Amino acid sequence: MNKKITSALISVFYKDNLAPIVDFLGKQGVKIYSTGGTQKFIEELGVAVTAVESITSYPSIFGGRVKTLHPKVFGGILYRRDNQEDISQSTQYEIPAIDLVIVDLYPFEETVRIGAEEAEIIEKIDIGGISLIRAAAKNFQDVLIVSSREQYAEVLTLMQEKNGITTLADRKKFAAKAFDITSHYDTAIFNYFNEEQQAQVFKQSIRSAQTLRYGENPHQQGVFYGNLQEMFDQLNGKELSYNNLVDIDAAVLLMAEFEETAFAILKHTNACGMATGITPKEAYLKALQADPVSAFGGVIITNKTVDLPCAEELNKLFFEVLIAPAFSEEALALLKSKKNRILLLQKPVKLADKQFKTLLNGVIEQDKDLAMEVEADLKTVTKRTPTPYEIKALLFANKLVKHTKSNTIILANDSQLFASGVGQTSRVDSLQQAIAKAKHFGFDLSKAVMASDAFFPFPDCVEIAHKEGIRAVIQPGGSIKDADSVAYCDANEVAMVFTGVRHFKH
């Protein structure tokens, strides 16, 4: 049913871009009710406005906590215009009809985000606003609800095109938007309180979304929920795909482990190349050396500015995505020469400390693996102590093993991945895969150390590694047969350290 807007309640926190709506309503002769700062704003626009207090006979009280919570306000919104009993009661109690409600919510999330004190955060829990929004949305048969400044332009166009008349479909559409706003708001409040209470309840709400070309495969639909623009500026290239995003996530998490100049090349979330260097160019070339075949079509990331010498080397390779915190002007111009090449400028954003995904008929959640061992955490369990060079290499390899699919073995020196054995059902298979790759690309394994994401149940891996020339090993420890691996190492002058921390990645 079509409805002509004849009355409106406007009470908002954010007043930017509200003026054109107020001006339109004024020219339409709509009776406007308002409160506090919004009332003053409307008056300053020269548009007639009636204070809510004039119909409730109550002022704003309790420091503004109670302004619109009154039967004459909620009655005007909720009474059913096609229900004779409701109409009679609205006349009996002198309740004016309200056809349009423009109300937003206090900035609770923003206040939490800036680290405000709890008292200020609590005052930003909206009571009247969210109640008005829910009431208007519930009675969409008769009332149009505008629940966010994001909707101002859309609703103004709607009213202008229809001369202040709304259809049932219009009102129902905006009601759905309103319940999206209120449910998201309540979820944010719950999650704030639940940081302390730790109730075993799963609630997440993300209002921004980006439809992807497809999911993991072309026959699957895909959507990214979140605001990528907060984390990246896309400087070039085609639209990001589902698989791009999965690899980018893995790349960002890996690179976060390094402060020194570093480059990583990833395929299917695993690093096929990783190195540090004095310059970006050196780090990139060392990373590429580990597996120049797999690097084709990969996702590349660095933690330093991509300069022209580095870009000239990168430009020789076909890759899908390059992520960096900055690009020199000359480097960017060169890299943009391939129109589909995705270039992402990474911005500093704090990432969530939790991970979750759908599983079976529910959702599984865990703390993100934020542990990373340093030299003081290493426990030497063999007679031979690793040299300072070996310790540096072991720590480098351990960072890589944390971010590689289990079961995994990493072979590396102190600044370069030689090879990895990835996602094998047997740790021996992972090691043999890594050895074969390292040899194929010409690495001298006598200069490598070995890292494992989990303990060795048998001494076979340390025996195989030793026979290839490897003399230092890092692993979590914890097997009931740790002594067997330690004994083999002692018999063959291999140094081994335990971290006490397993880094499975499935």
Among candidate residues 138, 162, 336, 439, the one labeled active-site is 138
At which residue do the structure tokens 């063999």 appear?
382
Asked whether the CA dihedral 237, 240, 245, 247 is positive or negative, the reply is negative
Please tell me the number of Cα atoms within 13 Å of 207 on its side-chain side.
Answer: 16
Per annotation, catalytic residue among 31, 172, 173, 268: 268
Task: Decide if 52 contacts 33 (C-beta within 8 A).
Answer: yes
Closest CA to 382 of 473, 445, 470: 473
Which residue blocks in 349-453 are alpha helix, DSSP H? 388-402, 427-440
**Is the CB of residue 98 less than 8 Å from the CB of residue 132?**
no
Is 223:212 a contact under the CB 8 Å cutoff?
Answer: yes
Name the maximum alpha-carbon separation found in the chain. 98
Do 53 and 112 touch, CB atoms closer than 8 A?
no
Backbone angles phi, psi at 380, to 5 degrees: -75, 125
The phi-psi region of residue 233 (left if phi > 0; otherwise alpha if psi is between -120 and 50; otherwise beta) is beta
* Class of residue 392 by CB neighbours under 10 A (exposed 0-12, middle 13-18, buried 19+): middle
Who contacts 217 (Cβ-Cβ below 8 Å, separation ≥6)? Answer: none
Burial class (CB in 10 A: 0-12, 13-18, 19+), 57: exposed
Residues in the chain: 506
Strand order across the beta sheet in which 100-103 lies: 50-51, 31-34, 7-11, 100-103, 144-146
* Residue 503 annotated to the active site: no
To the nearest 10°, the Cα dihedral for 172, 176, 179, 185?
-140
Tell me the β-bridge partners of 209. Answer: 225
Phi, psi (degrees; rounded to nearest 5) at 373: -75, 145
Map residue 331 onto helix, strand or coil.
helix
Contact 32, 22 (CB under 8 A): yes
User: Is residue 138 annotated as a catalytic residue, yes or no?
Assistant: yes
Say if residues 8 and 25 touch (Cβ distance below 8 Å): yes
Active centre residues (catalytic): 138, 268
